[in-house]
Amino acid sequence: MHQLKASNQKHIRALSIIVMMSWALCIWVSLLVTSFTTWVYKWRNPKCSGKLPPGSMGLPLLGETISYFKPNTTSDIQPFIKDRIKKYGPIFKTSIVGIPVIVATDPDFSYFVLNQEGQCFKNWYPDTFTKIFGNQNLATLHGFVYKYLKHMILSLFGHESRKKMLPEIEENVCNKLELWSTQNSTELKDSTASLILDLTAKKLMGLNPGKSSENLRDCFASFVDGLISFPINIPGTAYHKCLEGRERAMKMLRDMLQERRENPRENPSDFFDYVIEELKKEGSLLTEEIALDLMFVLIFASFETTSYSLTLAIKFLSDNPLILERLTEEHEAILRNREDANSGLTWKEYKSMTYTFQFINETARLANLAPGIFRKALIDTQYDGYLIPAGWTVVVCPPAIHLNPDIYEDPLVFDPSRWEGSKYTNASKTFMAFGGGMRFCIGTDFSKLQMAVFLHSLVTKYRWEEISGGNICRSPGLQFPNGYHVKLEKKEI
């Protein structure tokens, strides 16, 4: 009897322990669920002292990143942006790679953001971009240092320098086109990138076309593939390859700079010479790190963006015979009006290319090479009843402005004549292909010069036939996944 009573007590104690553990587990699970629910609620409903724009913050930490990077195979606004404009309007909130973001697709709000740098906003890019372009790249610098570097660049690519470079650009273009015409097929994206890099590398580093410039281009080829990709830095990803490309390119640039320091030139003529002279000055704002990051960005901005624009321009000409005919007429008229038929292109002739500049603007409008321009709010800022909290990122979306049917009639139609009589040749509220505000692209006029000279030589001396490729993809930046292959032939004169 005593043993039975003891056994029952043990069972009761065990049952009590089980009940207590069950209650503890229930309380723990309830607290976990409550904490998780509260965390999700706070994530989806950020606390601020005003009214945020409408929108969704997506999943915690991940946000709406996957939808944002989803490839788009049309020239239209990427579905991520287009769908949210329909649902929320031209200003909406979201989260990309864990960063709270307000997307601006309204021209007035976009113009306001870009022109309030140093007051309400500052130029800013995610840490992933900084790792790619460097901690001391032009986009991360502000105030006096930025103006100092801008002046340096303009001394190389300003008005007078461009005039002097015109014959060299034309010679470079003619030589490349002559070479391509001997090939059965030319892949335009890589070939135009090589053309632009040869010229830029010579101006910046004194490099003549050859093995060194080819090696440099190979570094940037792997770099570009992951520039606008999901930022996962593990072997095999596009982003990892991008960082590896940067490391190789930076090593080449550092070695070149060191070699130039050890073997200085008697007559300085390029950017490296200028950098070396500046580094010698006492109290100079320039450091080797800033100089190399600046060089890296200049090489990328000059050859990569221009080559995409040129490739797309030729695709537009192939698809629009009447536009090709009108462009050709303008350039053939330049040749007919010359006193010396064998003379090179003059600055006066270049400035007379009215339809060519319209064509370049229309190409830039539809190319939309910059899917977003980043700014960060310095202070709480009110706009149209909405609050942009301090610390939040604003992404100005030029494609949404360039493809807005309320601004451009039939926005997906390539029509250079829409620019006739327009005073907006570089930047405005409705045209942001080259940036805006004080961060307007410094190399815009240099890029336009290269495109105009290339088009002049191409349409007056050659015809071409499409071989394969030419389809585009945006993820969200412009790409030619299958390249664009053409057969170039000399015209019979």
CB contact at 8 A, 480 and 470: yes
Whole-number Å distance between alpha carbons of 271 and 152:
9
What does the pLDDT read at residue 135?
66
What does the pLDDT read at residue 38?
55
Residue 381 belongs to a domain: no
What does the pLDDT read at residue 2?
55
What does the pLDDT read at residue 124?
81
Count of helices and strands (H, E) across the chain: 18, 12
Phi and psi for 29 in degrees, rounded to 5?
A: -65, -40
What does the pLDDT read at residue 389?
93
Residue 449 belongs to a domain: yes
Residue 354 belongs to a domain: yes
What does the pLDDT read at residue 10?
62
Q: H or E segment at 345?
A: none
Whole-number Å distance between alpha carbons of 273 and 259:
12
Binding residues for heme, by number, are 441
What does the pLDDT read at residue 386?
94
CB contact at 8 A, 459 and 391: no
Residue 317 belongs to a domain: yes
Task: Cis check for the bond before 411: say yes or no (omega within 30 of 0).
Answer: no
Residue 79 belongs to a domain: no
The number of folded domains in the chain is 1
Q: Taking the model in full, what pTM does it have?
A: 0.86
244: domain range?
134-367+413-490
CATH of the domain at 480: 1.10.630.10
Residue 300 belongs to a domain: yes
- Reported as a single tens digit per residue, the pLDDT across 404-424 is 999 999 999 999 999 998 765
Q: What is the mean pLDDT of each run of 10 residues along the chain (493 residues)?
A: 58 66 68 59 72 90 85 88 95 90 95 90 78 66 66 78 91 94 94 87 74 68 62 78 83 85 74 81 80 82 84 96 97 91 90 96 91 91 93 94 94 95 76 80 86 97 94 83 94 77
Task: Count other Cβ atoms within 10 Å, centred on residue 201.
Answer: 23
- Reported as a single tens digit per residue, the pLDDT across 20-77 is 666 666 676 666 666 556 555 566 668 778 899 999 988 888 888 888 888 888 889 9
What does the pLDDT read at residue 249?
83
Residue 341 belongs to a domain: yes
DSSP state of 303: I
Task: Count other Cβ atoms within 10 Å, centred on residue 32.
Answer: 10
Binding residues, by number, are 441
What does the pLDDT read at residue 361?
94
Whole-number Å distance between alpha carbons of 290 and 307:
26
